[in-house]
Chains A and B, each alone.
Chain A
Amino acid sequence: MTGSMGRRTVLLGAGALAAPAVLAQELPVLRVTHFGGPYNALTSVIAEPFAAARLGRVVYETENSVTALTKLQAQREAPPFDIVMLSRGFTGRVGGAGFLSPLDPARSDLVDGAIAPRNWGAAMLIDGIDIMYDRTKVTTPIESWLDLWRPDLRGLVTMPSASLPVYFVVMQIARALGGDPTQPAAIDAAFAKLREIKPNIRTFYSDPVQGSQMIERGEVAAAIQFAGRIAPVMRGNPNIVRASPREGVVGAPYDLCLVNNGRNREAAIAYIDFCLAEPQQSALAARLLVAPSHRRATVPEAAQNFLVPLDKVWFPDEEFAASRAAEWSRRWQREVQS
């Protein structure tokens, strides 16, 4: 009796020990990219619950939109990733070049503009281009984009250089001047206006962190910057505030995109659905201080002030912008930042 019990216990015990190993082997592996830095939090906020729910095992790699595209281009038939995180400006280009599979568009629980044109991707987070300024140095609050041209801000402003996506700024200024950003006349007006801002610019930054560091060091009093980066600066320095001007804040969604010819397609789709579900969206927003794309995501009261107000966000025509981006970038190099 004891012997057979013993044997059964051992067999059961062995089975119990083997089961997780066997099951773990069955979990599909997903290769997902993110931008690095604070997005390393995805490991704890997304990957661990995803594995706990037995949906798959996620391996993250740090790639910005550019290096992700370069690597997709180099390995078209056997892509190195299954899901890529791209800024919206790249999503259209990468999808149009045939590297992505379109997503199922039926997602009613996401805010307007969260789904990329032609369903190439769905926004995991909605960043934006906003203005931050030091209120101890800027006596009259900044309420309009055109306030950046004020004489009291001479030499105290910084904004992106052409190494970064400047089409956001061009379109926003066109809009602030009352024009339609998809019309050449409005764009020309925007460039004419931007040529006049040079005396106010301390320098054009090539890396977003330079913008934050300059305002923290006190070298500039106002900066055009990604909302997701304004939040940590505000948190560390209560004198620095968000302007969120009345003409609006350009939305810069970060899309999750399904790679064509990627592996474990079903698990990849499940990953995207998982990231866009309400609990994960709330957790992401609270952790990364970037606006969620889910309508009902809840963000703790204390964090709400740091997020860009979604009612001010507008989404530019990304396809139009993508077709003009190189031309505007060259104009920016020659007319604005030189």
Chain B
Amino acid sequence: MRLRALTPWLWLAPALLVLVPFFALPLGLLLRNSLGRDEPSGGVEPVFTLENYGSVLTDPFYATVFLNTAGMAAGVGLAALVVGFPYAYAVVRCSARWRGVLLWAVYTPLLVSVIVRVLGWIAITADGGLINAALLATGLSSRPLRILYEVEGMGVGMLHRYLPLMVLPLVNALQRVPWDLLRASSSLGAGPGEGILRIILPLSLPGAVIGFQLVFASVLSDYVLPTLMGTTRFRMLAPALYDEAVTNLATATAAAMAVCALLLVVLMLGLGNLAVRRLAPWARTL
């Protein structure tokens, strides 16, 4: 009986063996640093103070950074949902041959280094890039449209990078929809709208929430895309963190920012899980 109680922990042993020293410990260090004080050479004075949190939470600049990033994360998440849902639906409902193609189209960009993908996006969105060349050639615009190094360009890049994170959980969820039952129900007189509302939407909700959570967390942490495609006028969290930690060697301030960011994501994850547990109690949550 006691062995049975131990078994989950035995199964967890490999994961804990990695995560405790290489994740819990650094988190602890981060927390400890956030409560210290910055030294000019990048070290942290081992005092105990909340002044870093004070400065991070009251500085309007940091407030803007958090709002920008959370807004962008939510926006890209919603866009991914809007684009990803019909695509996932198509994946689940189409013939086996096309399914392979559609899924490979989602996977293949992940095989290419993000840096090279960005090069591709730069070639498309730059002032002299494909989009503007087409616009100018067809006369739709007389001056190049500024997409690159603007919020819009960065958003497009983010959507491209994280769409797979939304499509895959949605496909997972939609595969559980009893499509034959739907067809049967429609032949029994239930309208197509009812099928969507009462069956498809609830069943796909957990997948949509997980997808949104994954995209949100990823956009929040992204450093590469804001740096290579964004603008400093719309400052994002990860580059701002980098500036504090690395350029300014303000380790304690950066640690406080990081803890706040972590709490934000944990809050969002928790809210999402709560929503799913309320609305779709049978389903799996992150």
Contacts and interface: CB of A to CB of B under 8 A. Distances in A.
Contacts of B127: 217-219
B42 interface: yes
A237 to B, nearest CB: 14
B249 to A, nearest CB: 7
A203 B243 contact: no
Nearest to A203: B149
A326 B248 contact: yes
B128 A93 contact: no
A203 B239 contact: no
B243 A333 contact: yes
A337 B149 CA distance: 13
A207 interface: yes
A337 B243 CA distance: 13
Interface stretch (B46-54, B70-78, B185-193, B230-238): B230-238
A73 interface: yes
Interface in B226-260: 227-228, 231-233, 235, 239-240, 242-243, 246-250
B41 A97 contact: yes
A7 B233 CA distance: 80
B248 A334 contact: no
B42 A325 contact: no
Contact of A162 (B148, B227, B247): B247
Interface string A90-119: 000110110000000000000000000000
B246 A66 contact: yes
A141 to B, nearest CB: 24
**Which residue, of A94, A210, A218, A338, has the highest number of chain B Cβ atoms within 10 A?**
A338
A9 interface: no
B231 A163 contact: no
Given A210-B228, A217-B128, A163 B235 contact: no
A334 B248 CA distance: 14
Q: B interface, by DSSP: helix, strand, loop or mixed?
A: loop
Contacts of B26: none
Contacts of B243: 162-163, 329, 333
Given A207-B227, A218-B127, A219-B128, A161 B232 contact: yes
Given A204-B232, A333-B243, A73 B42 contact: yes
B248 A338 contact: no
A106 to B, nearest CB: 28
Interface in A152-211: 161-165, 202-204, 206-207, 210
Contacts of B246: 66, 70
A163 B149 contact: no
Contacts of A162: 232, 243, 247
Contacts of B42: 69-70, 73, 93, 97
B248 A206 contact: no
A8 interface: no
Interface in B34-64: 40-43, 61, 64
Interface string A301-338: 00000000000000000000011011001100110011
Interface of A: 66, 69-70, 73, 93-94, 96-97, 161-165, 202-204, 206-207, 210, 217-219, 322-323, 325-326, 329-330, 333-334, 337-338
14 contacts: A93-B42, A162-B232, A163-B227, A163-B243, A164-B247, A204-B231, A217-B126, A219-B148, A329-B247, A330-B248, A333-B235, A334-B61, A337-B232, A338-B235
The 5 closest A-B pairs by CB, nearest first: A97-B41, A203-B149, A337-B232, A326-B248, A204-B232
